[in-house]
Structure formats: structure tokens, C-alpha cells
């Protein structure tokens, strides 16, 4: 198919919210239209989320064309497939229980032509599902893909509302999960309250990563927490710094003072300052990576 008049569009597939880019020469396609396209999983029905990005060899490298716009018959097939999958989830779970497999079936999806059945499950350990696969193959006579997922993947599929009041990032626009560490919370000087820093998946919230780079840059010229200074003829210790307001909290046994960061230059430093040292916390060490 010629690419001379092609445009690039983004299509969202399935409940997992995966987004893929495709080429199209159909200038009637609009956002929210349903289309048929071939993905790595097979022929699937998806919904357009963006359209009209001009074609260029760099952007279009490796992209395939949308097969066609979906019609009412395609939508009907998709709906019937989804109804069948609701029943299949229970059947797969029952067979897994009969085989004493420690797994929780989370979702089930057919490709549009039912040539492939994708089943995802949760488990804390590796599952030998070879016997289960034989049983399912005899029941459904198609390619079957059993995939183990983590709690973050489950949250992406189920969705929900985050602590910010908006739909979960993972179920709206995040396609890949980056490693999130407790160091990012320390870097942003957040209270290390793990329940409040955890998302629906039980892992650290993904948004800790969004501003981590900005905080790292902003802290380069900040003093070290714990630094002793002389203020109003009294010795104080820097106990916290508000990066956004540029205010410093000073404390000693009897007083608490809050001063602007700019005022620090006029104070006498009683212990060495290392402005490039990250904020130190006295909290217990918590697991560094929470992927």
C-alpha cells in the first residue's frame, strides 16, 4: 500500500489499555472510531485515540497499515467474544483449582477471529500450567497464551481512581512500568509513610518518578539537613527544607524558627556544609526498589 498520502494514528486495544501506532490512507477516520488492525497478538478491534500525524519515513518505520474501519458486524463479534470470555475465566479457574495450581485468573481475551485466546493470571510463584494448557486446548481448539502478571499489571487492567482524584496513570497512558524506588520519595522530602505512598497495586505510586529529576536539580544548591548554624546568637540545626517555598526550618532544644533560604548566606556555619549531598533521613532503611 502506498505511503504517499498516509497518516499516522494511535489505536487503543483491549482492557489493558495498550496503545499502538498504525498507518492509514483513510481520511474519514476520526477519534473514537473503531478499526480492525493486526497486532503482535493477532487481528484485533481497537479504538482510535489520535489521528492525523503526517507521514514521515522516520516516524513510520516499522508501522503497518490499519486493515479497515470496523462495522456493526465486527462490533457484534467483539461483544460476543467478550461475553464468552467472562464464562471462560470461571472455567479456567475451576480447571486450575482441580489441578491444584496456585493461580488466580484475572482476565481472558480472544482475538477478533478467535484464532488466539489470551489468559492472564496472578501468582506468587512459578506455575507449571502444561496440564492446564492441554485441557484448555481440547476445549477451545485455538492457540492459547497463558501469561503471568504482577499486581501493577492487574491495576492497569482493572483501573480506578488515584489519590489525586484522577483515573490511574497506568490505565490511561502508561504503557510501560519504570522502576520506582523509595529514594525518589526521600529526594522529594516526603514523609516515608508507605501506605500513603503506595498505589492500588500495593507498589510505590508511579508519579514519584515524574518530578524526581526536577527535585534533584533544585536540590543541588541546598544545604544538608542536619547542618548546624548560628542564628540570633543561638545554635540551631537545619531539620527540614521546603524546596517549593525555599524556606528552611531551624530547631534547637527550645526554639523553632523558619527562615528564607537566601538568609542562610548571612549565617555562621558551625559544621561543614556539603551542598551536593542529598537530604539525609534518620528513618529506617526501606527496600530500595519496588517494581
Mean pLDDT across the chain: 83
User: Measured in Å, how far apart are the chain's first and last C-alpha atoms?
Assistant: 42
Task: Calculate mean pLDDT across residues 148-164.
Answer: 80
Outline which parts of the chain fall under CATH 2.30.30.
223-269
Query: Selecting from 3.40.50, 1.10.287, 2.30.30, 3.40.30, what CATH number does the domain 223-269 have?
Result: 2.30.30
CATH 3.30.300 holds for 75-149: yes
Confidence class for position 229, pLDDT limits 50, 70, 90: confident
CA distance 128 to 138: 18
In this predicted structure, the answer to whether residue 79 has a pLDDT above a threshold of 80 is yes
Q: Of all residues in the chain, what percent carry a pLDDT higher than 90? A: 30
Outline which parts of the chain fall under CATH 3.30.300.
75-149
Confidence class for position 48, pLDDT limits 50, 70, 90: very high
Phi and psi torsions of 260, nearest 5°: -70, 150
Amino acid at each position: 500500500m502506498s505511503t504517499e498520502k498516509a497518516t499516522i494514528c494511535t489505536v487503543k486495544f483491549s482492557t489493558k489499555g495498550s496503545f499502538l501506532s498504525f498507518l492509514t490512507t483513510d481520511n474519514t477516520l476520526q477519534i473514537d472510531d473503531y478499526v480492525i488492525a493486526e497486532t503482535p497478538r493477532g487481528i484485533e478491534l481497537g479504538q482510535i485515540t489520535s489521528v492525523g500525524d503526517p507521514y514521515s519515513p522516520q516516524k513510520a518505520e516499522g508501522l503497518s497499515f490499519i486493515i479497515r474501519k470496523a462495522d456493526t458486524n465486527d462490533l457484534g463479534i467483539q461483544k460476543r467474544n467478550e461475553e464468552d470470555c467472562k464464562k471462560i475465566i470461571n472455567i479456567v479457574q475451576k480447571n486450575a483449582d482441580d489441578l491444584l495450581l496456585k493461580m488466580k485468573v484475572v482476565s481472558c481475551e480472544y482475538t477478533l477471529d478467535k484464532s488466539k485466546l489470551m489468559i492472564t493470571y496472578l501468582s506468587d510463584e512459578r506455575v507449571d500450567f502444561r496440564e492446564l494448557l492441554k485441557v484448555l486446548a481440547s476445549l477451545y481448539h485455538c492457540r492459547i497464551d497463558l501469561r503471568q502478571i504482577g499486581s501493577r499489571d492487574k491495576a492497569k487492567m482493572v483501573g480506578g481512581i488515584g489519590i489525586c482524584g484522577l483515573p490511574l496513570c497506568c490505565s490511561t497512558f502508561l504503557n510501560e512500568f519504570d522502576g520506582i524506588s523509595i529514594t525518589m520519595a526521600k529526594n522529594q522530602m516526603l514523609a516515608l509513610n508507605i501506605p500513603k505512598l503506595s498505589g492500588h497495586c500495593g507498589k510505590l505510586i508511579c508519579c514519584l518518578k515524574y518530578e524526581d529529576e526536577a527535585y534533584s536539580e533544585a536540590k543541588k544548591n541546598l544545604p544538608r539537613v542536619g547542618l548546624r548554624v548560628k542564628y540570633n546568637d543561638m545554635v540551631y540545626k537545619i531539620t527540614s527544607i521546603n524546596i517549593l517555598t525555599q524556606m528552611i526550618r531551624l530547631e534547637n532544644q527550645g526554639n523553632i524558627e523558619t527562615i528564607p533560604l537566601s538568609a542562610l548566606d548571612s549565617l555562621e556555619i558551625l559544621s561543614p556544609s556539603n551542598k551536593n549531598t542529598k537530604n539525609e533521613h534518620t528513618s529506617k532503611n526501606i527496600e530500595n526498589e519496588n517494581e
